[in-house]
Amino acid sequence: MAAEAGTGGATLLGRRSECEALDRLLTDVVSGTSRVMVLRGDAGVGKSELLGYLSKKVAGWRVATARGVESEMELAYSGLHQLCGPLLDHLDRLPVPQREALATVFGLGVGPSPDRFLVGLATLSLLAEAAEQQPLVCIVDDAQWLDQASAQILAFVGRRLLAERIALVCSARTGSDDEVLAGLPELSIQGLGDSDARALLLDNVYGPLDAAVCGVNRAVRQRDQRLLYLPHVAH
C-alpha cells in the first residue's frame, strides 16, 4: 500500500506554522520530491518535540533515525552508522566500489580508508534503494554533536536529493556550530510566546506555582481530579 502523508496527531501548542511546514514536506515526499530541512534553534527551544511530531506523522513509513552524541564526536562515521545501520539490507544492491566503501567505514570489511566522496555517493545510493518501495524519512537529532565525517556526508547527501522520495530532517543548535549542515534549507525555531508558554506550563506542572510565573493573581485548575492552587500575590 502506498504511503500517504499523515494527517493524525494534534498540532503542537504554539507551533502551528512549524507543524504545517513539516506537513508540507511530507506531502512533497509522497508526491515524489525529496525534501531536506534543518530545524535550527537554541537549546531547549523545542526542536526535538517537532521531530517527535514528525515521527508520529510517519508511523508506518520506513524511518531511519540518528542522534548526535557528544562523547562520540571523535568517532568517524558513528552518526552515519546509526542512520544507515537499519538500511544495510540494501547494501548488496550498490555498485561494488560504493558497497565496499560503506562496508569498510562500518567495519563490515577490511581495506584502506575510502575516499569521503565515494562514501557520500554510497550513502546517497543506499538511501535511494531503501526508498524504492516506499518513502523514507531520515530524522537526525542534535546534529551539532555529529562527528565531522557524518555531518559532511549528510550535507553532501542533502544537497543531492532530488526525486528519490526521501525526507532528511535534522535539528541543530544555534550558536554551537552553525557550520553543521550549512547551506541546507533551514527552519528557524524560536521560543514560544508568553501565552503559549504559560499554557504549556499549566498543562504539564501539577502542584503550587507562583502567580508571577503564570501571569495570574489567582487561578484554580483541575488536572486529573487534582486542584492546582496558585497563591494570591499582594501588590
Predicted confidence at residue 44, as pLDDT, reads: 87
pLDDT tens by residue, 86-99 = 999 999 999 999 99
Q: Which residues contact 137 (CB under 8 A, 6 or more apart)?
A: 26, 29, 54, 58, 61, 62, 63, 64, 166, 167, 169
**Mean pLDDT over residues 183-195, rounded?**
77
Nearest to 161 by CA among 35, 17, 24, 27: 35
* pTM tops 0.85: no
Q: What is the mean pLDDT of residues 44-64?
A: 91
Q: What distance lies between CA 222 and its chain's CA centroid?
A: 34
The residue count for the chain? 235
Which spans in the chain are helix H?
16-30, 47-57, 78-84, 96-105, 116-130, 148-158, 194-204, 211-214
Confidence bin at 120 (pLDDT 50/70/90): very high
- What domains appear along the chain, each with residue ranges and CATH number? 17-191 (3.40.50.300), 195-230 (no CATH)
pLDDT of residue 62 exceeding 70, the answer is yes
State pLDDT tens for residues 129-185: 999 989 999 999 999 999 999 999 999 999 999 988 999 999 999 876 557 898 999
